[in-house]
Amino acid sequence: MRKTRRYETKKKSVKIICLAAGIVIAAAVGVYIYGYNSIPVNVIADNVYIETVDVSGLTYDEAVAKLAESQLLSDKDITLVCANNSYSIKGSEVGLVARVEDTVNAAMAYGKSGNKFKDGYITAIQALFPHTITPKANVDEGLIREKLMEFGRQIYGERIEHSLEFGDGVVIASAGRTGFDTNTDTAYQQITEAIENEKFTNIDVDLRSGPPSPLTVEQVDGFTYKDPIDAYYQVSDNEVMVIAEVSGRYIDKEETAAKIAQVVEGAPNVEIPYYVSEAAIKASDLQSKLFNTTLGSYSTNYGGSTANRAANVANAARRINGKILASGEVFSFNGTVGKRTVENGFKEAPEYIDGATVMGIGGGTCQVSSTLYNAVLYSDLGIVYRLNHMFPVSYCPLGQDATVSDSGVDFKFVNDTDYPVKIVSSANGGTITVSIVGTQRDVPHTVKIKNTSSATSGGTNVSSVRYVYDPDGNLIREEKLSSSYYMAH
């Protein structure tokens, strides 16, 4: 009887368990069938959140619009771990921003693998339990690397390279110290991979320390070496300044190699000798050469001139007197003398215009330009521009005059020596003398001018050649000058 009761009780329990299991199975099957038939197509699944933003049932465009108005990742921090040290970074400090489109794509893809059984199960579960998606994110590389530099220095201290400075006749090498090696490449890659995998905390990064870079002979040479600078002339405001030379520096490379081997962390400073290289040209040399000789000189007579013409000659001579030209500088007669006006001190006197002798302001100025032209010729300087008069003039040979006009015709020459030259001009007692004062050439020049005339029906053609000789009478150069044509009076 007792056995029968026990059996009945056990049988009843089995029935209850089976009934419960059946109910559970039926419920599960029902839920699964619901999920299988509820897989979303063009919208995000139910109960899906991006961070705290509910995007359930939204289309792609609706979700993008909703996230654009939210503050995704605004309070997100990134924490790094290295060598038992941790470092926290505010996302806002490193440009942490959500990639909205990629994040929405991830939400849209959830529960849509293409496997109906799997997707049905996920959809069914979604009805009961929410699913949160971490936003896909970007960071600013430069800002992240700056933070990594801070973290590296926090862990290992700042690495200090060996340094160099000048002492008294020596270069002083000071040893650096070990510290963070500043390499952030691996750590940056580790951070970006972690964030891509939706991990923002306890990101392991690889930062290391390193010793200072070894000092090299090339570094010491580059720091120490300096070419000597020769003294030189500088012409400014018609004055010549001699700019002093500057000595150079160099090292003995074998000696330096032995010295820098002693530059190690923790060791005392090391003194590396350097040596002085002198400039080839000294200021004293230039000063002694400055205007030490007359390169060429020429005089013409204006004794028969009217008082006004004589005054114009003297005025123009005064205006070019003392003019200094730097090496390579071009002299312009008109640019130096200026306009021939009463305001500039010029007077009315006879002058040639269009083949006739007329009265004009500045008559006689051409005698100054012609005298200067000859001084330049005999100084063996380069002629840039020269034009002869229409008619022969009495104060210099045919082919050796230079007409000027402040309306356009100019006389120009260039200082083609290596040193400044100065025009020295004086007009008194009916004679104007113009000299070119400069620096004696290594081989002094003597100049001769040969003019060859040939008559034509309307006037005279003149061909001019400049011959330059050395002190022994050897021809250095033969130069054809500009030809001249003079009309007959």
**Residues 143-162: tens digit of each pLDDT:** 999 999 999 999 999 999 99
Q: Please give the residue that has the higher pLDDT: either 280 or 47.
A: 280
Read off φ and ψ for residue 434, nearest 5 degrees: -120, 130
Mean pLDDT of 406-433: 96
| CA 403 – CA 393 distance, rounded (Å) | 10
- Report d(CA 267, CA 278) in Å as an integer: 34
More confident of the two residues 236 and 72? 236
Strands 77-82 and 203-204: parallel
- Give the span between the Cα atoms of 138 and 327, in whole angstroms: 63
Q: Tens digit of pLDDT for each residue in 193-246? A: 999 888 999 999 999 999 999 999 999 999 999 999 999 999 999 999 999 999
Q: Is the pLDDT of residue 31 over 50?
A: no
- Ordered by start, the domain boundaries in the chain are 217-282, 291-487
For Cα atoms 399, 402, 404, give the angle at the middle one, nearest 5 degrees. Answer: 150
- Decide: 404 and 367 in contact? Cβ < 8 Å: no
Residues 119, 122, 124, 128, Cα dihedral to 10°: -160
Whole-angstrom distance, CA of residue 459 vs CA of residue 116: 115
Per-residue pLDDT, 12: 60
pLDDT greater than 70 at residue 18: no
Amino acid sitting at position 196:
E
Q: Is the dihedral of CA 108, 109, 115, 120 positive or negative?
A: negative
User: How far, in Å, CA of 489 to CA of 391, rounded?
Assistant: 7
Residue indicated by tokens 């330049």: 376
Q: Which residues contact 4 (CB under 8 A, 6 or more apart)?
A: none
**What pLDDT, on a 0 to 100 scale, did the predictor assign at position 27?**
40
Question: Distance between CA atoms of 305 and 320, rounded to whole angstroms?
Answer: 20
On the question of pLDDT at 257 being above 70, the answer is yes
Contact 295, 421 (CB under 8 A): yes
Three-state secondary structure call for residue 371: helix
> Which has the higher per-residue pLDDT, 55 or 260?
260
Q: Is 376 strand, coil or helix?
A: helix
pLDDT over 90, % of the chain: 70
Span 468-477, pLDDT tens digits: 999 999 999 9
CA pair distance 212, 209, nearest whole angstrom: 10
The confidence band for 359, taking pLDDT boundaries of 50, 70 and 90, is confident
Pairing of strands 77-82, 85-90: antiparallel
| DSSP 3-state of 489 | coil
Residues 361 and 351: their CA atoms lie apart, in Å, by 9
Q: How far, in Å, CA of 332 to CA of 320, rounded?
A: 10
- Give the residue from 364, 365, 347, 411 showing the smallest Cα distance to 385: 411
- The pLDDT-based confidence of 141 (bands split at 50, 70, 90) is very high
User: Averaged over 133-140, what is the pLDDT?
Assistant: 85
What does the pLDDT read at residue 84?
95
pLDDT of residue 76: 86
Residue 448: φ, ψ to 5°? -130, 140
Contact at 8 Å (CB) between 279 and 245? yes
Residue-level pLDDT at 34: 45
Contact indicator for 256, 270 with CB cutoff of 8 Å? no
Region of 430 please: left (phi>0), alpha (psi -120 to 50) or beta: left
Q: Which whole-number Å values give the CA distances from 411 to 14, 172, 414, 462, in the listed order?
A: 131, 59, 11, 19
* Whether residue 300 has pLDDT greater than 60: yes
pLDDT at 432: 98
With 0.85 as the threshold, say if the pTM is over it.
no
**Average model confidence (pLDDT) for the chain?**
89
pLDDT at 10: 60
Beta bridge partners of 133: 50
Indicate the pLDDT class of residue 287, thresholds 50, 70 and 90.
Answer: very high
Q: Indicate the DSSP class of residue 243.
A: E
| For residues 317-324, average pLDDT | 98
pLDDT at 174 over 80: yes
3-state SS assignment for residue 61: helix
Q: In the numeric block, which tokens belong to residue 348?
A: 């009315």
Q: Are 453 and 398 in contact (CB under 8 A)?
A: yes
Region of 217 on the Ramachandran plot (φ > 0 left; ψ -120 to 50 alpha; else beta):
alpha
